[in-house]
A and B are shown apart, each in its own frame.
Chain A
């Protein structure tokens, strides 16, 4: 089955700096890669996703890049703000199989220092 590894487990940046979180996956059939943001005690929120037919996707200060050959994908947050502080989870799934459940990474706790 799929295995998703996520690094780093914790990340502290100064407000205004960029933050990068990286994930690798094992199943070459995986072709949908969402990222979730979870604030303390709250639900995970889908913030951006990418499908394998593109290499990069941007949404304002957030971008995701995908390297299918190397089987890794990354979340980039620019101009970080204190409200970006949360736990971020990557996930992967092969859309073309019967499996519907995402495989999640272990999470990255991002702390943005004001």
Chain B
């Protein structure tokens, strides 16, 4: 149980375009989903927390207009990186939680050229 999927696993896009990443909890209803960014050999940096049906709570320093988060249902959250630039290239990981245990998706490696 507690399986979280994430799609796509890898994406390469041109500078200025937008990219959407999906996070799904496959076998449980996630009341809360989290989006993280991870740089090489670094820890997980929380970007935002999203609850189903409400606006996401962004961490300090994360631009909400650039990283759009939608949590439309108890099993799906999306992160859209708008007007992507090379500095947005990173490993993005979502996690889903029903109580306090968090289960992570496999991550999306974004490369902006």
Pair B46/A101 contact, Cβ less than 8 Å: yes
Pair B49/A101 contact, Cβ less than 8 Å: yes
B97 interface contact, C-beta 8 A = yes
A-B CB contacts (within 8 Å), total count: 43
B32 interface contact, C-beta 8 A = yes
* Main secondary structure on B side of the interface with A: strand
Q: Mark A38-69, 1 if CB is under 8 A from B, else 0.
A: 00011111100100000000000000000000
The size bracket of the interface on B is: 10 to 19
- Contacts known (A100-B32, A101-B49); A43 close to B105, Cβ less than 8 A: yes
Q: How many residues of A contact B (CB 8 A)?
A: 21
Report how far A101 CA is from B93 CA in the complex, Å.
14
B67 interface contact, C-beta 8 A = no
Pair B101/A100 contact, Cβ less than 8 Å: no
- Contacts known (A32-B100, A100-B32); A43 close to B106, Cβ less than 8 A: yes
17 contacts between A and B (CB under 8 A): A34-B102, A41-B107, A43-B4, A43-B93, A43-B104, A43-B105, A43-B107, A44-B44, A45-B104, A95-B100, A100-B34, A100-B97, A101-B46, A102-B102, A104-B44, A105-B43, A106-B42
Q: Interface residues, chain B, CB within 8 Å of chain A?
A: 4, 32, 34, 41-44, 46, 49, 93, 97, 100-107
10 closest A-B pairs by beta carbon, nearest first, are: A43-B104, A43-B106, A100-B32, A106-B43, A44-B104, A107-B43, A104-B43, A104-B44, A101-B49, A32-B100
4 further A-B contacts with Cβ under 8 Å, apart from A36-B104, A46-B101, are: A43-B107, A100-B34, A100-B97, A101-B34
Q: Interface residues, chain A, CB within 8 Å of chain B?
A: 32, 34, 36, 41-46, 49, 89, 93, 95, 100-102, 104-107, 109
